[in-house]
Amino acid sequence: MTHALGTNPFSVYFSLNNGLSDTAPSLKRHLSNMKGMYADGKAQAAMLEGGDPLLYEFYDLGVKESEGSLAFGTSIVYPGKVGDEYYMTKGHYHTIRDTAEVYYCIGGRGFMLMENEAGDWIGEPFTPGKAVYVPGGYAHRSINTGTEPLITFYVFRSDAGHDYGSIETKGFRKIVVERDGAPAIIDNPHWT
Amino acid sequence: MTHALGTNPFSVYFSLNNGLSDTAPSLKRHLSNMKGMYADGKAQAAMLEGGDPLLYEFYDLGVKESEGSLAFGTSIVYPGKVGDEYYMTKGHYHTIRDTAEVYYCIGGRGFMLMENEAGDWIGEPFTPGKAVYVPGGYAHRSINTGTEPLITFYVFRSDAGHDYGSIETKGFRKIVVERDGAPAIIDNPHWT
């Protein structure tokens, strides 16, 4: 008897210290996977000549897609910057727009940057213990502005789907950069 | 302009140390709220003569109910026993049966006891870092078998609903008790 994952009870370990599972494989995103996503393209190109650092990793356990099932896992964004812009996830809308996502920060600090298609945006601060609610209709991106890995545990409807389209071509309206030694949310110079 | 909670982004803090929020009020369940739910009714009655201890607390933030929204919060089950049966939550089915729930354990140890209406059951161990998936159709109850508070962060579809009916009259098929100093999952003597 075989069942799709999510039909029966199961459990997965994710370390509260580093966010990593000891059984599930993570998906890894290196600097080379983020071409054109940082505002300072020259800085990104220069960095790539010296190597291809791991920017973040996360999990897709493969829970069956249905409107009653939930996908979950951890996201780990490592500390660092491309030029003066902090390491971040690619970010995405849900394909089924009206589906939410919840993130619970278990380590590190940064922002959940969110924007909707009407132009509303907000950067909710992440600190350990902070749960951030991403409502339906909001593209969302995790950004590490600290010196430790930014670790979040996330849950969303398993059939929500990921839509990167408009983000890959235009980015987000705002970017998060270091200014005078502190994080600042500023207009994305390439967003039109 | 007013909006139901969950229409716009928001965040809530839940301590990684004790599970408690500094802003949201918790719902508290004392021993007197659990009448008839422990197998040893005499032990429960005797305990109540000496006081009414807090067994667990959890959060209902009031996120709007819709199939695209998510309810979330923490559950804190305190350590202790009624007779030889460990402190536990009441447990519930979801009214919309085919909706899942995810629990991420951030402290303590115990079990997520699950059973469905077909009679399948399992006790998934909780230890820090363990995420447990409760599929649609499974009643579920958190049980603290350790000496520290059992703290979990949970997420479920906000319109799932809680159905206590069959649990309040029959309980679960299994109970978790101390035997020779260690937790054991045994048949519920009152389940018929």
| pLDDT tens-place string over residues B116-173 | 999 999 999 999 999 999 999 999 999 999 999 999 999 999 999 999 877 888 899 9
User: Is the CB of residue A142 less than 8 Å from the CB of residue A77?
Assistant: yes
User: Is the CB of residue B101 less than 8 Å from the CB of residue B160?
Assistant: yes
User: Is the CB of residue B127 less than 8 Å from the CB of residue B92?
Assistant: no
User: Is CATH 2.60.120.10 correct for B27-187?
Assistant: yes
Could you say which of B6, B15, B112 has the minimum Cβ distance to residue A135?
B6
Q: How far is B91 from chain A (nearest CA, A)?
A: 16
The token duo for A125 is 């601060």
Whether the CB of A100 is below 8 Å from some CB of chain B: the reply is yes
**B30-76 pLDDT, tens digit each:** 999 999 899 999 999 999 999 999 999 999 999 999 999 999 999 99
Spell out the long-range contacts of B185-189 with Cβ–Cβ below 8 A and sequence spacing 24 or more.
B185/B111, B185/B113, B185/B123, B188/B39, B189/B39
Q: How far is B172 from chain A (nearest CA, A)?
A: 16
pTM confidence score? 0.97
Whether the CB of B24 is below 8 Å from some CB of chain A: the reply is no
Whether the CB of B23 is below 8 Å from some CB of chain A: the reply is no
- Residue A96 to residue B68, Cβ atoms within 8 A: yes
A-B Cβ pairs (cutoff 8 Å, strict): 135
Q: Measured between alpha carbons, how far is A96 from A159 in angstroms, rounded to an integer?
A: 8
More confident call, A164 vs A21: A21
Could you say which of A9, A66, A112 has the minimum Cβ distance to residue B114?
A9
Q: How far is A48 from chain B (nearest CA, A)?
A: 34
Contacts of A101 in chain B (CB under 8 A): 70
Q: Where are the domains of chain A?
A: 27-187
Counting Cα atoms < 13 Å in the Cβ hemisphere of A188 gives 19
Q: How far is A17 from chain B (nearest CA, A)?
A: 9
User: Is the CB of residue A163 less than 8 Å from the CB of residue A95?
Assistant: yes
**B3-16 pLDDT, tens digit each:** 799 999 999 999 99
